[in-house]
Structure formats: C-alpha cells, structure tokens
A and B are shown apart, each in its own frame.
Chain A
C-alpha cells in the first residue's frame, strides 16, 4: 500500500479510485480533518487560524499571499508524506476544485520535485478519453502494488 497524493486534492473520484486499488489517498480532507479533530481553542467551526499562514512559511516566503501559505500549511505536509502522486491538469471544477491558482502552481511544482512515481494526465473531454483516463490511473495504481478491493 502506498500513500498517494492526489491533485486536485479535493477530488472525491480520485480519492475513491486510489482507495479502491488498495492505497491511501492524500487529499485535503485529511489535512482539514486533522485540524477539526485536534482539540484546542480553535476547534470547529473555525478550522484555519492565522497560525496556518505562518506554518506555511515552510513552503512559501512571506511575500507570498497569506491564503497561499494557509493552504500550503494544509497541503504541504501531505506532499511530504506522499510516496506517489497523481496530477490531473486542467480539471473541471466539478472534478475537484482547487480555489487558488497560485497555490495550484506551487503544489504541482513541489510534487514534481519529489523523487516519487507521478502520473500526470489531462482531464478527459470525451468518452474515449474518459475510458483511457480511468485505465491509465488503474494501471498506475496497480504498478504501485495495489490490489483492487
């Protein structure tokens, strides 16, 4: 079983596919869950505090917008823990929304810098592309040693 970082990190379809093939998906719900379940004065409903942009300094300098650093505080540790990654470029909003374009650029760059197996695909526009898309993801996940559940 491998820890597979997914991009868009909010994609439930990708997350589901990774889990179905026996791996652990690393998506933003994981990072958010940690903030919800950790007891403290800033427990739910407030999940992100002004501390997060400071923690995000590990991934982006202080000149970078606060929202990018706040997002990186959530996503950055997931990238660090990843053993493999799937990146879907130009995905539809409905497939998984990544709110900030600047964060997206940084996330993809940081993933590509890791020396881990990465599958990069374009979001499919037709049915044929869709079939090839799913097949490519399945092949990648199987090669990682996963087994379909």
Chain B
C-alpha cells in the first residue's frame, strides 16, 4: 500500500461545527491523512502580521500562519484543504486570500470549502480525491496523448456518456439519460462500441468518472476510477488543444458546477458545488420544459431574446421558476425568458463560484450545458472574454477517462 497523501488542514470552526470527523473520514477514504501544521505562538503573531490581513478571529490568524509555514517550506505537505464556516464573512475573505496565496507561491494543490454542520464525508469525497490525485498522480495527469484502444465512461447525474478512443482519436460515442446507473452505463457503452465497430473484449483499458464511478467501475472492471475534477480538466485541455499554459475550465452540470483553474493540464485550485439548483443545468432543463421546447432548442431561443426584459433575482430553483412563470403570464416572450434563464445561471455561477478561483484565459466551457449557446454567450459577457467550447465538449468526462485510462495499458 502506498503512503498516505498528507493534507494540511487550514481551518476555522470545523471542530465546533462537528464536521471534523467527516473531513477525516473523507480523507481516509482516499488514503490521505489530515494534519494540522504545527507552529509556535510567536509564529502566529509574526506571520499573521507579515501577511497583512488583520483578521480578528484567532483561529483565522492561526490558519494564516500555517499557510505561510507551508509556502515557506517550514512544514511539508502534499496538498492543502482550507475549510471555514459557511456564512462567515471574515472567514470567506481569509479563505479566498489563503487559497490564492498558496496557489501563487507553491506547487501545492489546494481546495477550499465552506461547511455547515450538515456537511458529510460524501460531500467532501470528490474534493479530497482530486487533491490526492493531483498530489499522487502528476505523471498520469501529464499524459497528453491517448494510445491504443480505450473506453471512457462518465456517469453524470443527468446523463451517462461513453467514448471509445483509438490512437488519440474519438471513434465511438454514446449518450443516454441517467436512469438506472448500471443500465444507463451499459447502454452508453454499447452505443459507443457500436459506433466504433469494436468488441468489448478488444478494449485495452477502461476509465470511469462521475457520480456513479465506483458502482460502474466495479461493474465494468475499470482500470481507472477517477473523480471528475481532474478527469474533466484533462479532457478539456485535450479537446481544446490547450495542454500547455494556463486555462480555466467551467462545467455547469445537472447537479453541481465545477470551476477549475488549470496549469499545463493539471488542476491547481478548483471549486465544486453551487449554492442551489437554480445555478445548474437542472434549472435550464426545467425552463425548457416550461417553454415546451427541447433542451437543445433553448440555446438558439435564448440568443433571440433579451434577458434584461425579464426580472429575475432569485438564487433558488423554485423562486427562479416562479419568476419565469410570472414573466410569461405578464406577456414576456419565450425568447426573453430563455435568455433570462441562461443569464441567471451564468450570473449565479459567476457570483458564487468564479469569485473563488483566478480566471485565466482561455476559458473553456464543457459538459452538456456548454451546448446551450445562450448560456455560453451569457458567461462570455459576464467574464468579458470569448469562451472556448471544444468539439465533443459534452463528452468531456468520458474523453478524459479514456485518455487517462490509456496510461494503464499493460506494458506501459
């Protein structure tokens, strides 16, 4: 068994919120161990003053001093987890600045999270998994070309995607709605294999990602079972041909959103989550249903409308839908409503998540929602940049899995 990845915890409130056990459990599940960098009282006084951020909370001062010790190499760690209470304004400032400081001044992968007392190990698992992957598998993540014949499966909350790749090219695709997780995976795989014209037995390696990864991984005997943060980063830079240099990957999913700051194909900082379903692809699905159009028609419809004509100021899927219904009943056009829905989702992701990472150009949008051009346009307008949507962007997780799985072909 390999040595556990050592994750330094910088936090405020985790013990008193009762979630420390959950943090430890999530880390242990991915063979990592949480530790608190050991520093002296004098370090706290000196380092928090040197850092220049006058936090009133003693625990935040301690977190600042610990971050400095990590960056200056006085304490060894493989990765950093920053956690503070949800709703604390002072902690939000410190959390953000520490993440930026560590990212800019060290090679340590860092993830931050604002927890409540209801945060569970399951919620934290994907983040911990991504941290350990970046720390442990840098060589694998440096892989730039797919070789041989490999299959990638992405089991998302809304759809299950499958991709067959041969010698760095996509030769088969499968995309089905997620119902029964295993059944959907089997269907998507069958579609991809059929299009590629290959048999299951011919595959040299299989990679899986997404929410159903553990179940499907066992079912198909996958060589690689990997969370979607690192996999999607890899898939995005591969498809957009941006393997080198910085970029930002945005994936607005059915259940949650991911915003990942990437350098040379390796994620540095990332956020995962979303305050409410009102900031997700699910809201756009509901909008399309209410407008009586297919989800694929929502984007073009939105491009014809003016979102500003529809008042929307809710961060909740229920109240957001209510706003849309009110707008329709007061005579707004379906085009305007579609545009407002796209703008609302983009704005929420911009305000709630993109403020937590450093946006580096190019910005690559991936996932099924990247096909909704109204959403891409709204995001581009908010970020004041042109958004890159690579071909096959909706298959990003499956492509990333297929690419990374080729590292497991025997003999390599």
Contact = CB atoms under 8 A, between A and B. Distances in A.
B18 interface: yes
B86 A66 contact: yes
Contact of A93 (B16, B44, B115, B117): B44
B18 A65 contact: no
B118 interface: yes
B187 interface: no
B90 A102 contact: yes
B41 A93 contact: yes
Interface string B1-37: 0000000000011111111110000000000000000
Interface string A85-107: 00000000110011111101000
A20 to B, nearest CB: 25
Given A53-B117, A99-B58, A102-B57, A48 B91 contact: no
Contacts of B16: 48, 52-53, 66-68, 70-71, 74, 99-100
A50 B90 contact: no
B410 interface: no
Given A67-B12, A70-B13, A102-B88, A50 B58 contact: no
B338 interface: no
B19 A50 contact: yes
Nearest to B45: A93
Chain A, interface size category, equals: 20 to 34
Interface in A13-55: 46-54
A147 to B, nearest CB: 34
A70 B58 contact: no
Nearest to A73: B16
Contact of B117 (A46, A63, A70, A104): A70
B158 interface: no
B85 interface: yes
A99 B117 contact: no
- Most B Cβ at <10 Å: residue of A64, A67, A101, A102: A67
Chain B, interface size category, equals: 20 to 34
Label chain A's interface by main secondary structure. Answer: helix
A108 to B, nearest CB: 13
Contacts of A98: 58
B326 to A, nearest CB: 27
B123 interface: no
B87 A46 contact: no
A126 B87 CA distance: 38
Contacts of B118: 50
B58 A67 contact: no
A65 B87 contact: yes
State the 6 A-B residue pairs at the shortest beta-carbon distance, nearest first: A67-B13, A70-B16, A65-B85, A101-B56, A99-B59, A50-B18
30 contacts: A46-B21, A48-B20, A49-B18, A52-B17, A52-B18, A64-B87, A65-B13, A65-B17, A65-B85, A65-B87, A65-B88, A66-B18, A66-B87, A66-B117, A67-B12, A67-B13, A67-B88, A68-B88, A70-B16, A70-B17, A93-B44, A97-B58, A98-B58, A99-B57, A100-B16, A100-B57, A101-B55, A101-B90, A102-B90, A104-B56
Given A48-B18, A66-B19, A99-B12, 14 more contacts: A51-B18, A63-B87, A64-B87, A66-B16, A67-B12, A67-B17, A67-B85, A93-B44, A94-B41, A99-B58, A99-B59, A101-B55, A101-B90, A102-B57
Interface of A: 46-54, 63-71, 74, 93-94, 97-102, 104
Interface of B: 12-21, 41, 44-45, 55-62, 84-88, 90-91, 115-118
